Structure 1
Amino acid sequence: MDTPVNFEKPSARPPVQPPEGCLAVAIRVPVRIVVLVLVVPMRLVWDALVVGGRFLHRTVLGPLARAVFVWPWVALWRYVVVPVAKAVGWLAKVLLIVPLGWLYRHVLTPFGHALGWTARGIGAGLAWVYARVLTPVGHACAWVVDGVAAAVAWLGRYLLVVPAQWLYAWVLAPVGIAIAWCGRGLLWLLKTVGTGVGVALYWVARILLVLPAVALWRWVLAPVGRVLLVVGREVRDALGHAWRIAGHVSLAVGRALGTLFRWIFVEPVSWVYRTVLTPVGHAVRDLVLRPAAEAARGVGRVTRQALAAARESARQARADFRRMVFGEPRQPLPVERREPTGDETRTLGRSTTVLTKD
């Protein structure tokens, strides 16, 4: 029978915490108390500033920023930049792209083809000149140069290289060997003296500088550093714990203040609005405002009628005054109409007109 395979991921072991000393335990409690007393007011002030900043951002800064920075740029882009860009693109297409395309197709392309044909002809001529003229001349020049180079090499070998080899073998090499032997002896002497001086300086520096520095590091600086490290770690942990505790305290204080504000102000105001102000407002609307509005509308109608009657009376008075001073106005003379009147006109029941009448 097969053994079932466990595909579950083994649980990770918790990290092993290093053992804490008595110094860390002794420092932790007072540091956390002091830090908690100092951090809680700071966290309360910080949370209050955050809430105020969010409210100010939602109500003032956000709409003001959109009205001042976003909407003008959107309007500028939509109603200025985009139409101008479209107009510039159309002008560029009409004034540049279309003429350049026509110039490329009808001028530059034929001119390029002609230049290519001419270049191919010139290349064929140059190839013939290279193959038939320059290549033989080059071969002749190379043969002459090879002969001159062989002669110069032979003269150089027997006039320069052989004497130089003899000079190196019988003069320079012995002198160089002697100088090298003297140099090695001098270098050994300097190395011996330098080694002795270096050993002496090493022991002097070790005794006067290194051993005191090692003792200072081992017995003073390292313990002080470990103590400061423990203190710093505890202060960091205390600040973290205090900041989290202050957050919980701030949240509780905020909820308590919100609940107290709702109990003291919001719910009484809401109750007064629902139970007192709304019925009073309805009663004032039904008993005072609507009758007053109806009375005002009636007064307005009466006033408009009185004003209309006064205007009509004033118009009649002006007309009577004009007739009394200037007399009756002249009556307009009748104008002779072009179409015939009376029985001569065409009617719907007759088929004859003035032109077809007997």
Structure 2
Amino acid sequence: MDLQKPPPPPPPRPDGCLVVAIRLPLRIVVLVLVVPVRMAWDALVVAGRLLRDIVLRPLGRALLWVGKALFVWPLVALWRYVLVPVGRALAWLCEVLVVVPAVWCHRYVLTPVGHAVAWLARAAGAGLAWVYARVLCPIGHALAWLAAGAGAVLAALGTGVYTAVAWLARHLVAVPARWLYTWVLAPAGRAVAWCARGIGHLLGLLVTGVGVALYWIARVLVVLPALALWRWVLAPVGRFLAVLAREAGEAVGHAWRIAGRISRAVGRALGTLFRWIFVEPVRWVYRTVLTPVGHAVRAAVLRPVAAGLRAVGRATREALTAARDTVRQARADVRRMLFGEPRQPAAVDRREPAAPDARTLGRSTTVLTKE
């Protein structure tokens, strides 16, 4: 288990005197510059949140409702009550006017015609097969036998002509060409190749010497001065600028955090002052003045008005119920006068026992087994 643990982090390197001398003044200056920026940023954040919660969110909901009322609901109504019925009617018309006639045409016209065409095609194929087997095959066999005989004659003649042409080509072309290559072209090519290798070796020596000279000239005039400039000038300046940038970044982060705490303390102080100046007096007025007045108004005005409205609503409902019952009874009387009494359903014997003779709990006998 100890072998699987990650290695401990390396200890931090101690900072030099230059880093310590730069850090404290830089942090003080950055803190003085960052505190107003952080407080302005926090104020903008609070204002943005209030604007979002009080203005933008209700406005967005209102715009969403207006968009639904102007676009979504009319489109839904158009789709549901116009396009869908029209589409169903068009589908029914297409089925009646196109699909059903097409199916009837395919079943009672095209299918019999296709069967007749297939029968004719099979009959024509059988006739062509008979012509091929009884007429074309014998003619083809006779032509193939004649072609085989003519080919044998032509092959015999071609063999003699090929032998004569090959002997003439060997003694008139191949033998002179081999002698010319062996005793003329090969020695001349070897001499030319030896001269070319010597010239290439000489040019290689010249190019190598020129390259070595140019290498040392470039090394002495360019590389060594550039290396010295990088080692003794640019690298120290770069290290100093890197230390300065790192300390500036750390100072900005440290100052931003401290400014956040200062801004939070100032915000809490302003919030407390606002609560003492405005919120607490308003709360006291609401609790000690408006609440008793509201209770008195509710007890003296609103509750009697609500009770009167409930009584009026109850009386209205009772009147509507009585009127509905009267209308229902009058309709039943009119139906009885016009059509007579409704026929009562006949009693059906279900072979069920009466209530006193039904099966009882606690005994093993039934109605059929009682004596």
> Shorter-chain TM-score category?
0.5 to 0.7
- d(CA) in 2 for partners of 1:154 and 1:64? 109
Paired residue for 1:188? 201
* Corresponding residue to 2:241 among 212, 224, 228: 228
Distance 1:118 1:153, change over 3 A: farther
Give the counterpart letter for 2:281 in structure 1: P
In the TM superposition, residue 173 of structure 1 has moved relative to its aligned partner by: 3.7
Residue 30 of structure 2 aligns to a residue whose secondary structure is helix
What pairs with 1:232-243 in structure 2 (closer than 5 Å)?
232-243=245-256
Q: Aligned partner of 1:49: which letter? A: L
Check 1:200–1:86 CA distance in 2 against 1; reply closer, same or farther (3 A cut).
farther
Q: Percent identity?
A: 52
- What is the Cα deviation at residue 54 of structure 1? 1.9
Give the match for residue 250 of structure 1.
263
Instruction: Tell me the distance in 1 between the aligned counterparts of 2:233 and 2:292.
Output: 84
TM-score (norm 1): 0.57
Amino acid at match of 2:221: L
Deviation at 1:92, TM superposition (A): 7.9
Q: 2:279 aligns with which of 263, 266, 271?
A: 266
Matched, 1:49 2:44: yes
Counterparts of 1:25-44 in structure 2 under 5 Å? 25-44=20-39
Alignment of 1:1-358 (within 5 A): 10=5, 13-68=8-63, 71=68, 74-75=72-73, 78-80=76-78, 86=84, 90=88, 107=106, 158=169, 162=174, 168-279=181-292
After superposition, the Cα gap between the structure-2 partners of 1:206 and 1:266, relative to the gap in structure 1 and judged at 3 Å, is: same
Q: State the Cα distance separating 1:239 from its structure 2 match.
A: 1.5
How far residue 177 of structure 1 moved from its aligned partner, in angstroms, is 2.8
Q: What CA deviation, in whole Å up to 9, does each residue of 1:211-257 have, x standing for no partner?
A: 11101000000000000111111111112222222222222222222
SS in structure 1 opposite 2:11? coil
RMSD: 5.1
Mind listing any 5+ residue stretches in structure 2 that lack a counterpart? 306-371
What letter corresponds to residue 178 of structure 1 in structure 2? A
Q: TM-score, normalised by structure 2?
A: 0.56
SS at match of 1:255: helix
Identify if the C-alpha distance between structure 1 residues 269 and 67 changes in structure 2 by more than 3 Å, giving closer, same or farther.
Answer: closer
Q: How much has 1:62 moved relative to structure 2?
A: 2.6
1:237–1:94: structure 2 CA closer, same or farther, 3 Å change rule?
farther
Match of 2:309 in 1: none
Equivalence for 2:329: none
